[in-house]
């Protein structure tokens, strides 16, 4: 059963949360839930959390800002299109 929590965030934390949510195109509540899940799992079940070093690309999540709204869902298509252009000499 899910519970609802209400928390007061300092302005700087709320601004950082809002900015990250916009970058990831997610609701701030989703970001908070992800962070809590990750932290609590790491604290209480560390054997279930793979070290971040196993995937160096994880550090890049949220670090890019692009004007392609469906990039996360269709990145393979965009990569394929770029490779095709490159192979055809259409650079």
CA 68 – CA 60 distance, rounded (Å): 17
* Tokens 């690309």, located at residue: 57
Residue 6 forms part of a structural domain? no
Could you tell me which of 16, 11, 44 has the C-alpha nearest to residue 31?
Answer: 16
- For the segment 54-78, the average pLDDT, to the nearest whole number, is 80
Q: At what angle do helices 28-44 and 11-24 cross, to 10 degrees?
A: 100
User: The domain containing residue 56 runs over which residues?
Assistant: 11-87
CA 46 – CA 68 distance, rounded (Å): 36
Per-residue pLDDT, 65: 80
Residue 75 forms part of a structural domain? yes
Per-residue pLDDT, 17: 92
Q: What percent of the chain has pLDDT over 70?
A: 88
Work out how many domains the chain is built from and give that number. Answer: 1
pTM as predicted: 0.48
Q: What is the mean pLDDT of the chain?
A: 83
| Angle formed at CA 86 by CA 80 and CA 87, multiple of 5 degrees | 90
């Amino acid at each position: 059963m899910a519970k609802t929590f209400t928390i007061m965030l300092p302005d700087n934390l709320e601004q950082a949360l809002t900015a990250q949510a916009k970058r990831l195109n997610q609701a701030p509540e989703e970001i908070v839930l992800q962070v809590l899940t990750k932290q609590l799992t790491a604290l209480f079940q560390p054997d279930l959390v793979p070290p971040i070093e196993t995937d160096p690309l994880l550090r890049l999540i949220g670090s890019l800002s692009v004007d392609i709204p469906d990039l996360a869902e269709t990145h393979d298509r965009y990569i394929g299109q770029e490779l095709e252009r490159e192979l055809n000499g259409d650079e």
